[in-house]
Amino acid sequence: MLAGLLLRLWFIAHYSKVAGDGLVYGDIAKNLALHHTYGLTEDGPLPRPTLIRVPGYPIFLAVCFLLFGLKNYTAVLHIQTAADLLGCCLVSATAARLFGRRAALPVLWIAALCPFTANYAAVILTENLVLFTIALAFYSLVRWRQAGLGFNRWLWLVAAALSYGILLRPEQGLMAAAVVPAMLWMAFKKRTPVASLSPVLVATLCVLLPLLPWTNRNWRIFHVVQPLAPAAANDPGEVVGVGFNHWYRSWAIEFASTAEVAWPYDDRLIDVATIPPRAYFPGCSLRPRTGTGELRDRTVAVLNDYNDESSATSELDARFAELANQRIKAAPICYYVLLPIARVLNMALRPRTEMMRTIPLEWWQWGRHRAETAFAAAYAALNLAYLVLAGAGFLAWRRRGWLGAREIAWAMAASILLRCAALLSLDISEPRFTLEFFPVLFVWAGALFARAET
């Protein structure tokens, strides 16, 4: 625990970050604390109401600001550090209850010294608290099962963890979709299924109830039914660059493209030199040698016109849509199957250095930055080692007949599979979207340390 604390404090000292989405969350939290309005700062005296983010993290930040001072992000980072270390204890305790006490200490070491999750304790983003809610949900699920599947404190902790997870990030509803069916199945196997199902149904209702005030607020202010947050993170009436998104989705794989092309759109200039060659030719080849010169010329022309405007317009979006349609028609399997899979693999296997300012986005360019490339490659190898260790642990757990916890095992697996399925629908590629795998990976690794007689 001391080693884990020092690692997180080192990240706070060297790689703390408040930018991008973090500034959006912080602005909403500031307006909550000062004006009691869930909105974004504009030129006027009062903030503009918004629904682009669910309220879990802004409320957390607002409480921290009220307790420790407005925009005191240092205090927030230290609270996140405590939450992260508590999450490490929870995954260790989960492994101990599933595989025996012999698994507890190795899992605690693996979790506490994981640099990928530790890095996000130093960042103003939702990931840190999401990881904690996942660890709490599975620990409480194991305890609820061991306590007899009835109405008890562990049932309410499962519901609270799942509910707050959804309020932190909308896709955390996938956690509920993985956990609740497992709870229903465990309860249904009891001799009196009608009575035994009632705790799960009540807990499910408790998971959904906190969404009602948020949905009601959005209806009163915006006159839209929005129980979560829009997929495009837009307020009602704001224009969404659908054509650009389809064009970007027709070639993008790497996180570098997300940062250099997708994020700047409708806000900053796009450097045409950062766009990979495959964006100018149909198909999925990473280094295309042949293609349509006319398509390349049209693509460069649209990008140059966008840079001249310095903002998106409906006419430009229609031209991007034409490019996208041409590319999709030429290679539909590439667009609908191969590229989504490639993006998910990139999110899972890319070196998790995205929050390190000293590591370039194009980390693989050995000739330009050898030391940084070597470090990133080592980080990628460590990330792969975590995946392999967890996979080996899952297989070991299976060989031991799930140790009487089959439903727990499949709930954990379902949480990862459902997230992967959801990620296939994304246009962008961000490694942090697969960070939520790690609480489950830590627990699975513990199966390798279970005693033979367990």
pLDDT of 95: 97
pLDDT of 189: 82
Q: What is the pLDDT along the chain (454 residues), one digit of tens a residue?
A: 999 999 999 999 999 999 889 999 999 999 999 999 999 998 778 899 999 999 999 999 999 999 999 999 999 999 999 999 999 999 999 999 999 999 999 999 999 999 999 999 999 999 999 999 999 999 999 999 999 888 999 999 999 999 999 999 999 999 999 999 999 999 888 755 666 789 999 999 999 999 999 999 999 999 999 999 998 888 998 888 899 999 999 999 999 999 999 999 988 899 998 998 889 887 776 666 555 578 888 999 999 999 988 788 889 999 999 999 999 998 999 999 999 999 999 999 999 999 998 999 999 998 889 999 999 999 999 999 999 999 999 999 999 999 889 999 999 999 999 999 999 999 999 999 999 999 999 999 999 998 754 4
Alpha-carbon distance of 84 to 167, in angstroms, equals: 18
Give me the residue label for tokens 């005693």.
451
Alpha-carbon distance of 90 to 134, in angstroms, equals: 10
pLDDT of 194: 60
Q: What is the dihedral of CA 428, 351, 120, 275, to 10 degrees?
A: -30
pTM: 0.94
pLDDT of 454: 43
pLDDT, tens digit (0-9, with 9 covering 90-100), for 81-116: 999 999 999 999 999 999 999 999 999 999 999 999
Q: Tell how far CA 199 is from the center of its chain.
A: 29
Alpha-carbon distance of 296 to 302, in angstroms, equals: 10
pLDDT of 94: 98
Alpha-carbon distance of 159 to 225, in angstroms, equals: 24
Alpha-carbon distance of 405 to 253, in angstroms, equals: 37
> What residues have CB less than 8 Å from 189, skipping those under 6 apart?
none
Q: Is 125 helix (H, G, I), strand (E, B) or coil?
A: coil
pLDDT of 452: 54
pLDDT of 413: 97
Give me the residue label for tokens 């590439």.
334
Q: Domain residue spans in the chain?
A: 242-362
Residue pair 174/418 in contact (Cβ under 8 Å)? The answer is yes
pLDDT of 424: 96
E strands, 146-296, are none
Q: Is 403 exposed, middle or buried (0-12, 13-18, 19+ CB in 10 A)?
A: middle
Q: What is the dihedral of CA 343, 347, 348, 351, to 10 degrees?
A: 130
pLDDT of 281: 83
pLDDT of 453: 45
Alpha-carbon distance of 169 to 164, in angstroms, equals: 9
pLDDT of 285: 67
